[in-house]
Amino acid sequence: MSTWIVFQRAVNVGGRKYPMAELRQMLTEAGYGDVATHIQTGNIRLTSPLRSQARLEKDLEALFEADRGFDVGTVAMAPAELGAVAAEADEVVAELGAPEFGHYVELLRSPPSAEATAVIEEPRHPGQRAVVRGRAVHLLFDLPFHQAKPPSAAVKRALGVSTNRNVTVVRALVQKWC
């Protein structure tokens, strides 16, 4: 059995309700083991006989849509991968300095190409920086998050399937599950 850390995109916001107790029950009934969640934003740990990240994401997305009736983009990582993301967060801060208002991590389904990386990292707005490291984009804000400019359509295309977490949540998940 492989252990996976799974991240759902955009649940429990804007009417897209997915109570974590119901999610845990559904995944357990679907045959996943050791199902656990962390806070209400779609952070899941589970075990599965599936060893393919792509297959797991596809299977989970089909389950989520069948259960809820809406598409739930999903990113799965092995515990070691998530641990590497947290370590990279520390490296980015050591290189560039701590952001004044926040450090978020956009978790990606797959690493972006060199061209997509250039689009993602291109400076667009003062007080906002993006640094790609493997399957994560570290977003550093020197202004309050609610004042940040949303990513352009080009950046969204370059990111592909992804979901955002505060670096504090990433570190908590690493400590709890990795």
Closest CA relative to residue 124, chosen from 152, 162, 93: 152
> Residue 91 has what pLDDT?
96
Mean pLDDT of 151-166: 94
Q: How many domains does the chain have?
A: 2
In what order do the strands lie in the sheet containing 2-8? 33-38, 43-48, 2-8, 74-77
Domain that holds residue 64: 2-77
Q: Are residues 71 and 103 in the same domain?
A: no
Domain edge (last residue) among 54, 77, 100: 77
Domain edge (last residue) among 50, 77, 104: 77
Q: Are residues 109 and 131 in the same domain?
A: yes
Neighbours of 72 (CB within 10 A): 21
Rounded CA gap, 32 and 133, in Å?
A: 30
> Residue 41 has what pLDDT?
87
Closest CA relative to residue 48, chosen from 33, 26, 63: 33
The CATH number of the domain where 33 resides is what?
3.30.70.1280
Q: Are residues 73 and 86 in the same domain?
A: no
Fill in the amino acid letter for 69: G
Rounded CA gap, 90 and 59, in Å?
A: 33
User: What DSSP line would sit under 39-80, residue for residue?
Assistant: TTTTEEEEEES---HHHHHHHHHHHHHHHHSS---EEEE-HH
**pLDDT bucket at 155, cuts 50 / 70 / 90:** very high
Q: Are residues 110 and 153 in the same domain?
A: yes
Q: Are residues 50 and 137 in the same domain?
A: no
> Residue 36 has what pLDDT?
98
